[in-house]
Amino acid sequence: MPETDPQPTAAVVAEMLTKRYGSLTAIENLSFSVAPGEIVGFLGPNGAGKSTTMRILAGTMAGTSGRASIWGESVALNPAAAKRHMAYMPENNPLPEDLRVEEYLTLRARLKDVAPEKISERVAKVMDDCDLTRRAKGRLIGQLSKGFKQRVGIADALLAEPKVVILDEPTIGLDPHQILGIRDLIRSLRGKMAVLISSHILHEVEQVCDKVVIINRGKLVAQGRTEDLRRELFPQAIFNLTTQATAAELKVLVSVHEPAATVEAVGTIDTTWNRIKVTLPAHSPLRETLATLMITAGMSLREIAEEHYGLEDIFLAATRRATTEGGRI
C-alpha cells in the first residue's frame, strides 16, 4: 500500500492508462497530471475516451493497464482512500428521484465521512453555494429541472471538501444564466481543490481552466497551458493592418528587419486604405515593434490587430495534427 502524502506534487496522476473492451481500445497509454488547486480542462471529440478516463480515475471502472492515483493514493490498490480525497460527477449525473435534495445531500455527506457534527453545516453551505437553498431545498429531486439537478450533482461533489473534483460535462443542458453560475462556482474552487472538467463548450473551458489536456481516439494529443499550446501549434504571428502604405512598400520595410516575413494584400477600404496581412515567424522581434516601425517610417496606420487563436483553433489543430501524424508530436 502506498504511503499517504499529505501534500503530493500532483493531485491527479494518470500514468500510461489503457482501457480495452475486447478488440476495441478506448484509451491507450494516456498520461497526464493535475496539480493541487489547479483547474484542468479535459477535451476531446465524442468517443475520444474522456468519460472512460474519468471513470477510471473515479474508481468506478478498472483500467486494463497503467496507474491512476488521487492525492497520492492508488485508485486500484487503495480505492477507499482515493475516494475519500475525490468527488466525481458523471456525465448524466444520476440522482435518486424519490429523495428530497436535503435528504440526499445528508445521506451523501454521511457516506463521504463528513464529521456528524458538521453534516448540517456542510449541507447548508453547499446548497447555498449552488443556489439550491431557496428554490430546491425541500423538493423531490425527480421534480427538479435539468439545471437544478446539475446543481445538486455539483453540490454533492463539493460536500466533503475533497482535494480533487472530477466533473464530466457539468454544464451540459444548462441555459446561459446557469452556465455562468456554474462557471463562477468552478472558478471559485481555484487554489482550493484540483478540478478536472470535461466539456464540449471550449469557450467555457478557456475561461475557467488553467491548463487543458486534449485527447483524440484514446490518445493524448496535447496538454499544457492554453498560451503555451497556442505558441506550439500556431508559432507564426499574423497581423491584420489597415494602412495607406501598399503591400510592396510594407514588404520592403519589414524585410529589412525580418527577411522571413510575408506580406499579403487583402483588399482596400475607401480606395485609399489598404488591408494587409503580415505573417511573422515564431519569436520574431517584430512581433512587439511592427506598429512602432511603421509609424517611425512615416506610414499612416489606422488599425493593427494580431489574429487570436482560441481554444477551438488549438483543439482543432491538435486533433488534426494527431490524425495526420498518428500521435502527439
Q: Which residues contact 30 (CB under 8 A, 6 or more apart)?
A: 14, 16, 17, 18, 49, 53, 66, 215, 218, 219, 220
Q: Is 258 helix (H, G, I), strand (E, B) or coil?
A: coil
- Report the C-alpha gap between 96 and 104 in whole angstroms: 8
Question: Does residue 110 interact with another protein by CB under 8 A?
Answer: yes
Question: Does residue 122 interact with another protein by CB under 8 A?
Answer: no
Which of 50, 108, 122, 321 is close enough to bind another protein by CB under 8 A?
108
Question: Does residue 113 interact with another protein by CB under 8 A?
Answer: yes
| 8 A C-beta contact, residue 58 and residue 84 | no
Q: Which residues contact 207 (CB under 8 A, 6 or more apart)?
A: 183
Taking contact as CB under 8 A, which single stretch among the options 23-31, 57-65, 130-138, 301-309 is the one that binds another protein? 57-65
Greatest extent of the chain over all pairs of C-alpha atoms, in Å = 76
- How many helical (H) and strand (E) elements, i.e. helices and strands, does the chain have? 11, 14
| 8 A C-beta contact, residue 15 and residue 52 | no
Question: Does residue 90 interact with another protein by CB under 8 A?
Answer: yes
Question: Does residue 55 interact with another protein by CB under 8 A?
Answer: yes
Instruction: Please classify residue 90 by burial: count the beta carbons closer than 10 Å to its beta carbon, then call 0-12 exposed, 13-18 middle and 19+ buried.
Output: middle
Question: Does residue 96 interact with another protein by CB under 8 A?
Answer: yes
Q: Which amino acid is at 242?
A: T
Question: Does residue 112 interact with another protein by CB under 8 A?
Answer: yes
Taking contact as CB under 8 A, which single stretch among the options 84-92, 177-185, 222-230, 310-318 is the one that binds another protein? 84-92
Smallest separation (angstroms) from another protein to the CB of 63: 10
Containing H/E element for 221?
strand 219-224
Smallest separation (angstroms) from another protein to the CB of 3: 19
- Report the C-alpha gap between 129 and 150 in whole angstroms: 13
Taking contact as CB under 8 A, which single stretch among the options 94-102, 179-187, 230-238, 269-277 is the one that binds another protein? 94-102
Question: Does residue 88 interact with another protein by CB under 8 A?
Answer: yes
CA neighbor of 159 nearest in space, from 125, 197, 134, 196? 125
Question: Does residue 148 interact with another protein by CB under 8 A?
Answer: no
Question: Does residue 98 interact with another protein by CB under 8 A?
Answer: yes
Question: Does residue 47 interact with another protein by CB under 8 A?
Answer: no
- The nearer residue to another protein, 40 or 87, going by C-beta atoms, is 87
Taking contact as CB under 8 A, which single stretch among the options 93-101, 128-136, 202-210, 241-249 is the one that binds another protein? 93-101
Which of 11, 13, 39, 87 is close enough to bind another protein by CB under 8 A?
87
Smallest separation (angstroms) from another protein to the CB of 172: 14
Smallest separation (angstroms) from another protein to the CB of 208: 22
Can you give the binding site for another protein, defined by CB under 8 A?
Answer: 55, 58-62, 80, 83-84, 86-88, 90, 92, 94-98, 107-108, 110-113
